[in-house]
Amino acid sequence: MTNTAAVAETEIVWKKGDTLMAMAVCKSEEAIMKIAQADTKSKEETISEMQRLAMFQQCIRVIPPALFKIHSILGSYLDYAKNTTTIIALCVPPSEQNIIAYAIAQGRPATQKEMSF
């Protein structure tokens, strides 16, 4: 399945199996939750936390950005600019059972109804 993130009037909806192009990822759920918490406060706080975690090799920038499959949705929150942001566990085919990284992406998780289509 290719990028199936539904876009309706600038709304992005994420679900398991969608393809995400990531520019930064974290290696643990704990690290991505720290990024998400900082992202609720300010852009500067988010950048600072990302740099701090990069120093400890917990998060990295992906250059060039890479495609990942969404393994699962961990949750969502409102970022510092009041945009809905989704916390995502990532995998790479063919081993779609194994989580290899975590990321955040602007947009909301799909509802149960949207996942049944």
Spatial CA neighbour of 61 closest among 111, 22, 24: 24
Cα-based distances in Å from 67 to 23, 27, 40, 83? 9, 16, 25, 23
The closest alpha carbon to 64, from 17, 19, 24, belongs to 24
Residue 20's beta-bridge partner residues? 68
Give residue for tokens 């399945």.
1
- From first to last of its 117 residues, what are the pLDDT tens digits of the chain? 344 454 445 789 999 999 999 999 999 999 999 999 999 999 999 999 999 999 999 999 999 999 999 999 999 999 999 999 999 999 998 777 899 999 999 999 998 887 765
| Sequence spans of domains, the chain | 6-115
What's the whole-model pTM score?
0.86
Dist CA 89 CA 44 (whole Å)? 24
